Amino acid sequence: MAWSETLPLRSSEDVVTVRQRVRMAADREGFRLVDQTKIVTAASEIARNTVIYGGGGSATIEGVEKNGRRGVRITFEDNGPGIADIELAMKDGWTSGAGLGLGLSGAKRLSNEFEIVSAPGKGTRVTLTRWR
Amino acid sequence: MDKIPILKLGEFLLVTVQVDMHDRLAMTLQDDLTERIVASHARGVLIDISALDIVDSFIGRMLANIAAMSAILDAQTVVVGMRPAVAITLVELGLSLPGVRTALNVEKGMELLRARMREVEPGQTAEGQAAYGEGRVQQADGVE
């Protein structure tokens, strides 16, 4: 069944809630433990970016299906300052803040599909999908 | 505000992370631990993460920071109990936790700490000298 839920992302406690809800979604879709851990970790990285760099926003978690395969998709949206150079932001070790610079690149590695749409002043939307 | 308890076990400190840590809680633990290392003269820190179902880059950085800061304060840190799925995910995330010693469980971690201390302090201990009022002439930083 198709389902989705949208959660606010304003604080570090909200990041924990998103992690827990993604875990439940992955479990419901029948993900193995390692795959659950990967999508939850990826979601945690992007959720934190939404709070810290995006100034808060939301996460929409949904169950998806493609060619008979079930998966979990999470869409993170914020109305923050946006990213001027996405290619640079995606590089391992590059950070505009005090982080390790592994958030975006690491989350991409932990997802099967990864999309980022952003422009200065236009906010950021990151979509992660992992298939069972 | 909630806190993660730090237990003293002889000359070691034991931290068992039992909650899904939000970032501020992780920062608080980092600060609390460094203060406790100094206040209790701890020589080793065991961080049990067996209850954590993920370690992302933030928590990973906290563990690396704790290891680095405790080393400066003359205490060894061992992270114990990492779940296999967490380890697999950490590597794929790109986090190798340089400088962080790990062990399978608290018992093995304790053995590792004791072995390290025997290596670092052959014979007389720095505390033994201080107890005889010799002052702190000899710092423990000259050990190769």
Kindly report, residue by residue over A63-85, the tens digit of the pLDDT.
Answer: 999 999 999 999 999 999 999 88
Domains of chain B, first to last: 6-142 (3.30.750.24)
- Identify whether the C-beta of residue B62 lies closer than 8 Å to the C-beta of residue B31: no
Contacts across the A-B interface (CB distance below 8 Å): 72
Q: Tell whether A12 lies on the interface with B, counting CB pairs under 8 A.
A: yes
At the topology level of CATH, where does A3-131 sit?
Answer: Heat Shock Protein 90 (3.30.565)
Nearest by CB to residue A100, choosing from B22, B53, B57, is B57
> Considering chain B, what percentage of its residues have pLDDT values greater than 90?
69
Q: What is the per-residue pLDDT across B20-52, written as a single tens digit (0 to 9) for each?
A: 888 999 999 999 999 999 999 999 999 999 999
Task: Count CB atoms within 10 A of the CB of residue B2.
Answer: 9
Segment B104-142, tens digit of pLDDT? 999 999 999 999 888 876 654 544 444 443 333 344 443
Report helix, strand or coil for B89: helix
Task: Choose among B127, B116, B117, B136: nearest CA to B41.
Answer: B127
For range A28-50, the mean pLDDT: 96
Q: Please report the pLDDT score of residue B132 as a whole number.
A: 40
Classify the C-alpha dihedral A82-A85-A90-A95 as positive or negative.
negative
User: Who contacts A73 (Cβ-Cβ below 8 Å, separation ≥6)?
Assistant: A61, A62, A64, A113, A127, A128, A129
The torsion of the CA quartet A83, A85, A89, A93, rounded to 10 degrees, works out to: -140
State the nearest Cα–Cα gap between A125 and chain B, in angstroms. 20
Q: Is A44 on the interface with B (CB under 8 A)?
A: yes
CA distance B115 to B112: 5
Q: How far apart are CA A74 and CA A62, in angstroms?
A: 6
Strand ranges, E, within chain A: 3-9, 57-66, 69-78, 113-118, 124-131
The letter for the amino acid at A20 is: Q
The Cβ of residue B87 has, within 10 Å, a number of other Cβ atoms equal to 15
* Percent of chain B topping pLDDT 70: 83
* Sequence-ordered strand ranges (E) for chain B: 6-9, 12-16, 44-48, 76-80, 101-103
Place of tokens 């405790």: B70
Contact A100 B60 (CB under 8 A): yes
Nearest to B89 among A41, A92, A100 (CB): A41
Question: Which residue in chain A is spatially nearest to B84 when comparing CA positions?
Answer: A34
Rounded to the nearest angstrom, the gap between the alpha carbon of residue B27 and the centroid of all alpha carbons in its chain is 15
> Residue A99 in contact with residue B57, Cβ under 8 Å?
yes
Could you give the CA distance from residue A77 to residue B83 in angstroms, rounded to a whole number?
31
